[in-house]
Homo-oligomer: A and B are copies of this chain.
Amino acid sequence: MSINGSLGENQPQRRGRGRRPAAEVRRGIVDAAASLLFEHGMIAVTFDRVAALAGSSRTTLYKWWPSVGALAAEAYFAYVEHSLEFPDTGDIEADLRTQLRAFVRLMTEEGAGSVITELIGAAQNDPALRKALSATYSRPRRDLALAALRRARARGQLRDDFSLDIIVDQLWGACYHRLLIPDEPLTLGFADELVRNALRGAGTS
């Protein structure tokens, strides 16, 4: 471990010792934060520990992230991003089912569930984390889903007389509900029924 410097110190450039590009340093920090977050939870994500693991200075971390929550939110998003791409086959029901199933698997089989519930939980008492979570995670995810829903509406697959936003709450929101208030389990079958009911309705009339 060779951590250079510490809090509040403006270090001169070191010479003769190749300096890593900022993007690479940043990625290393986010990776280190993600590995602490997914292995040990939010409690392990401190600027000290992340800096030590990434081989960066705390000064660098303070410069880029206003709070450790903001760093944790970005780390979470970087870790899950690849699992949450939105398919576009032209069949909105199939695409929603594929995406929601991927989300459920990520939460239940790939360990993201306990991390995101901890982040959302902590965000209730931490406005900076709430803002970071929205900016780096929930808002972009919502926008991706909305774009797919808009295309489906343009293809005539969705009614014209309601706000598309509510589908996000009825599908992903319903899953978060089972994660955060775990009275019933989050399963793939649940995801399938959600998609079907959201599109076809639960009523008989």
A138 at the interface (CB under 8 A from B): yes
For A118, give its contact among B125, B170, B193, B202 (CB under 8 Å). Answer: B125
A91-147 interface with B by 8 A CB criterion: 92-93, 117-118, 120-125, 130, 133-134, 138-139, 142
Which residues of A pack against B, CB within 8 Å?
A: 92-93, 117-118, 120-125, 130, 133-134, 138-139, 142, 156-159, 162-163, 165-167, 169-170, 172-178, 180-184, 190, 193-194, 196-205
How far is it, in angstroms, between the C-alpha of A63 and the C-alpha of B117 when the chains are bound?
31
Shortest C-beta distance, A110 to chain B (Å), equals 19
Q: Is the CB of B157 within 8 A of A169?
A: no
How far is it, in angstroms, between the C-alpha of A117 and the C-alpha of B157 when the chains are bound?
35
Q: Is the CB of A159 within 8 A of B202?
A: yes
Contacts of A197 in B (CB 8 A): 162, 166-167, 170, 198, 201
A174-B170, A181-B120, A181-B133 as given contacts; A202 in contact with B203, CB under 8 Å: no
Contacts of A170 in B (CB 8 A): 170, 174, 194, 197-198
Shortest C-beta distance, A137 to chain B (Å), equals 9
Q: Is the CB of B201 within 8 A of A200?
A: yes
Shortest C-beta distance, A107 to chain B (Å), equals 14
Shortest C-beta distance, A125 to chain B (Å), equals 6
How far is it, in angstroms, between the C-alpha of A182 and the C-alpha of B175 when the chains are bound?
16
Contacts of A182 in B (CB 8 A): 130, 134
How far is it, in angstroms, between the C-alpha of A134 and the C-alpha of B190 when the chains are bound?
20
How far is it, in angstroms, between the C-alpha of A182 and the C-alpha of B139 when the chains are bound?
10
